[in-house]
Amino acid sequence: MEKFYTTTAIDYVNGAPHIGHAYEKILTDVIKRHFSQRCNDAYMLTGTDEHGIKIQKTSASMGISEKEFCDQNSSKFQNAWKLLDISYSQFIRTTDDYHKKAVQKIFKKLLEKGDIYKHSYTGLYCSGCEAFLSEKDLDENGCCLIHKTKPEEVSEENYFFKLTKYKERIIKHIKENPNFIVPSFRANEVLNQLENIEDISVSRTKTSVKWGIPVLDDENQVIYVWIDALSNYITALGYDTENETEKFKRYWPADVQVIGKDILKFHSIYWIAILMALDLPLPKHILAHGWITIDEAKMSKSLGNVVSPESIFKAFNLEIPDPLRYYMATAAPVGKDGNYSDDDFKEKVNAHLANSMGNLLNRTLSMLVKYFDGEIKEEFIHKSELFDNAKKTIEEVKHHFDYFEIAEAALKITELVDTLNKYVTDNAPWTLAKEEKWTECGKVLYTILEAMTSVASMIYPYCPNIAQAMANQLKYDINTKLDDIDFKNIKAGKFITKEEIKPVFLRLDSELANKNK
């Protein structure tokens, strides 16, 4: 694998980042970090979507310019991702000059090609969705299914994109590539939506929306979200229809585009049609994740259950984001909805990260110091069947990631840790030491430490700080590629001192980890 390019949806900056935004970014970052262990060039794009009527109205109500409002809120998203150790390679804003110029060229190319035309239109517009809705998008009260508000009837002369022209090609692609949409059960949903698609509006009049990218040669129109926001995945790489930069040639097509299930239609139909119209390769996979509920209730500002990443950090006095990253990444099977609750968060990360994994390393190293003054003797080093088990786990983890089964991959890692804990219990090195069976005792400890190097590598995408702390104590290079793990890391000689042994993760209910509780 030469490169791996992954993208997130770009977040609309009309509000602050919440745990739903964080879920997507954590998932994508875990994917990116895993594939960085399998190739030399993993690239991740994220960013913010900054045009549209909602931003225009909100900024006006605050008495500030649209750009000033976008600057303030875009920085909130960047700060949140820094807090969560999201290792994105590039952050794009749709107000970036290079993006705006590229979007204008893309629009012009599609117009000259005949895939965009001008048309008078009357439709139902939902400002929450930033989209025109059809009757099937409304509930029995005529309200948007997502925002529960009645859309506004709008009559305009806008530019339209010939989405229907690409209908059959999109259907053919989805049917011939069963892994294109992940999870695969979402494909039928998209195929059903394709049955009744119509051409889509790709501009608004400036009298309706002035905060947008102007259409070249038509001062009365601004480019609408589909050409603007969706194009970020290629404009970020330098694509502008005239120049395919080396960066674009290297990374496009995307290996996976991670989005929420509520915008799957726009990415698997609208975006794909735009790429077809531009004669560009299609992304290899579109991963539609589920929603995160709070205590089994869908997040809602009116319910007061919108949780931010910062609020969880403060509630638990987290010094590193690894517990939240691990919990969110394993919240649900691929594509299904997940749930956040404080109690479950504490219970899960304590069980998996502190009690099982962290404690295993800590007590093994402590026994090495207690019985052998922290030294690995030559006679301890041997080949264990547990290494074959760990190697098998690595392959299983890779297989799950190939299908973007992030929670399922983590389960394999915890199963290996459980196996290692059982090995310690069954072989009881403390009993071997009491019986002065020093070589047998040393072999048990060596086996655990050597196997734990693979655990550190596999858990790294989820918990980069904990993995690095483990690697430091194991004298192990955390940047080792998964295929290069050979279980020959632990060498004979002085290995560790008592002072070097530190817990890699404190329980959330411990006095040190949670001072205010």
The answer to whether residue 82 is catalytic is: no
The answer to whether residue 143 is catalytic is: no
Q: How many CA atoms lie within 13 A of 459 on its CB side?
A: 31
45 token code pair: 């794009």
For 384, counting Cβ atoms within 10 Å of its Cβ (0-12 exposed, 13-18 middle, 19+ buried), the class is: middle
My answer on whether omega of the bond before 461 falls inside 30° of 0, hence cis, is no
The answer to whether residue 285 is catalytic is: no
Which amino acid does the sequence have at 122?
A: T
Nearest residue to 219 via CA among 203, 199, 243: 203
The answer to whether residue 3 is catalytic is: no
Q: Which of 147, 172, 399, 422 is labelled catalytic?
A: 147
Which of 66-101 are b and which e, b meaning 16 or more Cβ less than 10 Å from the residue's Cβ? beebbeebbebbbebbebbbbebeebbbbbbeebbe
Q: Which of 126, 265, 352, 463 is labelled catalytic?
A: 126
Q: Are 396 and 412 in contact (CB under 8 A)?
A: yes
Dihedral (CA of 105, 108, 112, 114) sign: positive
Q: Which of 70, 129, 441, 463 is labelled catalytic?
A: 129
Helices then strands (H, E): number in the chain?
20, 19
Nearest residue to 307 via CA among 22, 516, 81: 22
Q: Which of 51, 70, 144, 265 is labelled catalytic?
A: 144
| Whole-angstrom distance, CA of residue 158 vs CA of residue 120 | 6
The answer to whether residue 301 is catalytic is: yes
| Whole-angstrom distance, CA of residue 515 vs CA of residue 517 | 6
Q: Which of 298, 314, 382, 498 is labelled catalytic?
A: 298
| Whole-angstrom distance, CA of residue 176 vs CA of residue 164 | 19
The answer to whether residue 129 is catalytic is: yes
| Whole-angstrom distance, CA of residue 245 vs CA of residue 251 | 10
Relative orientation angle of helices 342-349 and 309-316, to the nearest 10 degrees: 70
Q: Which residues are catalytic?
A: 18, 21, 126, 129, 144, 147, 298, 301
